[in-house]
Chains A and B, each alone.
Chain A
């Protein structure tokens, strides 16, 4: 089975039309000595039922779903309304290419235009692109963008930013001679004001912070913005839990110049890490430095509204090595899912859902910290994640919880001084019963 609709007769006739007697001859331009003499050593072709069995069997080797999980840290288990799966599964959305022919791609283009609008509304900024790969590469693109806008080489990155995002920034930044400075955090779990003050200078391009940050703590974006702009630098905010935007003031309204983040919470399943959705918005004045595709509104030959890819001269296919980014393929279908999700939840739904997450997380934190020996590590306000300090290494506590069917959080051992700490995530999918089971199990293992 190879999905080939050319019959043997077709093949013979087509070869004859080309004046060839075998398919081999189609490859005459490849030197004989470079051509494979034998078939590849691949497993024999499977039928559809065999294939499905094979994958179902492997999926059953994943035991994760047998556990009650409080894992988050950049990937969140949220409920996905049925319309998201149904509507996004339409062939007309799954199987087109990038909308290079706008007259037959208005569906894709209008969806992206709506997506860009939703991202602007959520972030409080004026323009948004059509998507990037994920939150981590979004953070890297954001600091590179600030470096281009400011023509400065010093990048400040909060140590409260998701460690994976920071690692990707290092990977991208080191080949470009950029100086990356990590900022310490305080007892509230936020960027330490003195540390920021000391690190900022007139060579600083940008401060990248995350809010809610990796500890779940909400940063004081307004203060950060003032400090950063005072030195002529930019403020970029990365967001790994964008549901928080349903409730928290839009970072753009608090002074952020660039807001980027991970859109997975908006209708994308956990999927073992991908595909996810990088989103990015910025102030209008920076539009020519924004990476990635952008959809704009225009009119057709009869004066009717339509949408096209626009401002393409920023991009690699035109500007080549001088482009704002090398990105070509983005996460179009993920952006579609996010659009359906956000429009389904709507103005009140997103806010109510965000509030439900806050309530559940607060309940869980309260109940867990009633257990003797368990402390809240940071005093800062949180959204749906928080850090607890355990009396012992969390590696050990976590394993004992796992033996009781609970994945109790993510170890923070890579942060010096937080070896006994874990990041616990609670969403609307955690019923009170599940939270209480966690509390019970923790009491038992301590």
Chain B
């Protein structure tokens, strides 16, 4: 890992005419004359690379070795749930019987696929306590949008879509953005001294023009909104819906169920709670689960079973419509299903327990050294800040960059927005005591260094493939592609 000697060029820079890594078969059909006559064809794909297979293999192998990854070490990004990605899940999702099925194949020829999707739906409903579900959304934010569209459709069916959506100031940026794309105006709720929302504020803001409250629970501080049932009551009393962002479901699975806490709509991130890999930025998968009243509005198609035959139903007149091509991130769904079947009911509960234990173990060991703005009990993640280190001119960015020198990945930085200089730590349950201690010891050493040698932090990282990168130049003079 991290071989710093070889600087791998761009593929375009090692390209030379005439090389190829793939031989296209000779046509086995008679040459067709006059095909594409009159159509604008291209002379060439200007600048496209020409390299051999050896060079392709070396190029990507070398590039891969400059990446940090979960298989290398702890990846404690708060709210991202970077847990281990089991290998068997990858193998299952690459079985040809799954990968080679065309999405428009007749239903009778893909019963295996449909059966597994239905099973995953049912297991997710059991885990969440909700009543109906769609696997279609491609990622968490897409799930939020889908959920908000269903809320809007339901209000419209009752005569009025309403105008506003309430969102706490601690929320992830996708919440306000999703509500906005759904045609709503966002009203922000300020967090109280415990980092949660107060019932008084909510009662004051909640009226008949508010379509929904979007609530992350546990919230982005890792704090459980203990008043969730009262919150739901206030929202429901004015005819609104309670949307729960399930990004942090890893803290709750097997312990409690949103459906039992009066939540109306929620999305899950299969790429967080259910172990599917993040792939350097996707693909994710964001199923949306709802209560009975919202079920008619689910996107099409809906998977149904009758006499052990699975069927895709498009005849749903009140549906919000289609939110993407086909039926969702099928291979991602398979991996999540494999994970749930591997864990079983005991394993799911243990997953949440250890995720919370690991987080609290880190919190306990770093308390005092790093400032904890909110001291409410936390579940799967905890949010420190750089307040103590700022006295020496050291920021959360410097702390994070120094962690890279220790061979560790930093926490989420500068989020949630309600904590200035935030360091948001979520270890997940798949870290060993040894890896947790490595992280804790590095954080302790960095706290010492901040005092004794702040310059060391401000110029970090020192031993990575590249040193600190100039983001200002990148944004001021954007170079977004290679050119000759």
Contact A61 B22 (CB under 8 A): no
Q: Is A194 an interface residue (CB 8 A)?
A: no
* Complex contact B177–A1 (CB within 8 A): no
Smallest beta-carbon distance B128→chain A, Å = 10
Q: Closest approach, in angstroms, between the C-beta of A435 and any C-beta of chain B?
A: 7
Identity of the chain A residue whose Cβ is nearest the Cβ of B463 in the assembled complex? A103
Query: Quick check: is A81 within 8 A (CB to CB) of the other chain?
Result: yes
B459 within 8 A of A: yes
Structural contact, B255 and A347, CB atoms closer than 8 A: no
Are A133 and B478 in contact, with the CB atoms below 8 A?
no
**Known: A30-B256, A90-B61. Is A270-B479 also a contact (CB below 8 A)?**
no
Contacting pair B468 A103 (CB below 8 A): yes
Chain B residues whose CB sits within 8 angstroms of the CB of A114 once the complex forms: 10-12, 482
Check if A92 is an interface residue, CB within 8 A of chain B. Answer: yes
By a CB distance below 8 angstroms, the chain B residues around A116 are: 480-481
- Report yes or no: B42 in contact with A247, Cβ–Cβ below 8 A: yes
A73–B102 Cα gap in the complex (Å)?
10
| Smallest CB gap from B82: residue in A | A97
Pair B152/A175 contact, Cβ less than 8 Å: yes
Is B40 located at the chain interface by the 8 A CB criterion? yes
- By a CB distance below 8 angstroms, the chain A residues around B353 are 23, 26
CB distance from B276 to the nearest CB of A (A): 10
Q: Which of B201-209, B383-391, B425-433 forms contacts with chain A?
A: B425-433
Enumerate chain A residues within 8 angstroms of B65, measured Cβ to Cβ.
92, 107
Interface contact B278-A113, CB-CB below 8 Å: no
Query: Residue A177 at the B interface, CB < 8 A?
Result: yes
Most buried by B among A51, A95, A362: A95
| CA A62 to CA B176, docked complex, whole Å | 41
CB of B102 within 8 A of CB of A270, answer yes
- Indicate if A18 sits at the interface (CB-CB under 8 A): yes
Q: Which of A28, A273, A274, A316 contacts B283 (CB 8 A)?
A: A274
A62, B98: Cβ atoms under 8 Å?
A: yes
Task: Flag whether A91 is at the interface (Cβ < 8 A).
Answer: yes
Let me know if A241 is at the binding interface, CB within 8 A. Answer: no
Q: Is the CB of A271 closer than 8 A to any CB of chain B?
A: yes
Q: Which of A152-160, A197-205, A338-346, A370-378 contacts its partner?
A: A338-346
* Interface presence of A440 (CB below 8 A): no
Residue of B nearest to A13 (CB): B433
- Stretch from B111-119, B233-241, B288-296, B442-450 that touches the partner: B111-119
Among A36-44, A179-187, A226-234, the stretch that binds chain B is A36-44
Complex-state Cα separation, A64 to B114, whole angstroms: 13
Complex Cα–Cα for A110 and B53 (A): 19
Q: Is B257 among interface residues, defined by CB-CB distance under 8 A?
A: yes
Most chain B CB atoms below 10 A, which of A61, A349, A432 = A61
- As a 0/1 sequence over residues 100 to 112 of chain B, the CB contacts with chain A under 8 angstroms (1 = contact) are 1111111011111
Once the chains bind, are B139 and A329 in contact (CB under 8 Å)?
yes
CB proximity of B13 to chain A, nearest CB, Å? 10
Verify A321–B67 contact, CB threshold 8 A. Answer: no
Contact indicator B351/A96 (Cβ below 8 Å): no
Q: How far is the CA of A107 from the CA of B400 in the complex (A)?
A: 19
A102 neighbours in B (Cβ, 8 Å): 466, 469
Knowing A40-B126, A42-B344, A247-B42, say if A347 contacts B280 (CB, 8 Å).
no
A321 engages B467 (CB within 8 Å): no
Q: Which residue of A lies closest to B137 (CB)?
A: A133
Contacts of A310 in B (CB 8 A): 471, 474-475, 478, 480
B464 and A104 contact, CB distance less than 8 A: yes
Indicate if B418 sits at the interface (CB-CB under 8 A): no
Which B residues are CB-close (under 8 A) to A359?
A: 27, 29, 31-32, 35
Chain A residue contacts of B320, Cβ below 8 A: 171
Residues of B within 8 A of A351 (CB): 45
A442 touches B (CB below 8 Å): no
The docked-state distance in angstroms from the alpha carbon of A26 to that of B358 is 11
Tell which of B48, B280, B328, B480 touches A274, judged by Cβ atoms closer than 8 Å. Answer: B328
- Minimum CB–CB distance from A122 to chain B (whole Å) comes to 7
Closest A residue by C-beta to B136: A274
Flag whether A413 is at the interface (Cβ < 8 A).
no
Encode A279-313 as 1/0 by CB contact (under 8 A) with B: 00000000100000111111111101011101110
A329 x B176 contact (CB < 8 A): no
**CB of B453 within 8 Å of the partner chain:** no
Point out the residue from A90, A330, A410 that lies within 8 Å of B281, measured CB to CB: A330
Q: Is A444 an interface residue (CB 8 A)?
A: no
Q: Which chain B residues lie closer than 8 Å to A297 at the CB level?
A: 474, 479-480
B246 in the interface (beta carbon within 8 A): no
Assess the B21–A4 pair: CB atoms within 8 A: no
Chain B 177-193, CB-CB to A under 8 Å as 1, else 0, gives 11111110010000000
Name the interface residues of A322-358: CB closer than 8 Å to any CB of B.
Answer: 322-323, 325-334, 336, 340, 342-353, 356, 358
State A295–B277 Cα separation when bound (angstroms).
21
Interfacial chain A residues near B482, Cβ < 8 Å: 113-114, 117
Q: Kindly supply a per-residue 1/0 record for chain B positions 149-164, scoring 1 wherever the CB is within 8 Å of any chain A CB and 0 otherwise.
A: 1001000000001000
Instruction: Select which of B59, B331, B429, B471 is within 8 A of A298 by beta carbon.
Output: B471
Q: Is B334 an interface residue (CB 8 A)?
A: yes
Is A45 within 8 A of B40, CB to CB? no
A270 in contact with B99 given A92-B69, A97-B77, A407-B106 (CB within 8 Å) = yes
- Whether a CB of chain A sits under 8 angstroms from the CB of B41 is yes
Give A435 to B28 CA distance when docked, in angstroms: 11
CA distance A102 to B469 in the complex (A): 7
| Interface membership of B95, Cβ < 8 A | yes
Would you call B112 and A218 a contact (CB within 8 A)? Answer: no
Q: Is the CB of B186 within 8 A of A321?
A: yes
Contact of B46 among A28, A29, A48, A121 (CB under 8 A): A121
How near does chain B come to A391, taking the closest CB pair, in angstroms? Answer: 22
Q: A218 touching B39 by the CB < 8 A rule?
A: yes
Kindly list the 6 A-B residue pairs having the minimum CB-CB distance in the complex, ordered from nearest: A273-B326, A59-B97, A333-B279, A45-B344, A332-B281, A273-B103
Known: A312-B475, A315-B173, A343-B59. 5 other contacts (CB 8 A): A55-B334, A62-B110, A81-B21, A302-B467, A328-B139
14 contacts between A and B (CB under 8 A): A63-B109, A93-B279, A248-B39, A274-B283, A275-B282, A301-B467, A306-B466, A308-B469, A321-B177, A321-B180, A329-B271, A333-B277, A340-B56, A343-B59
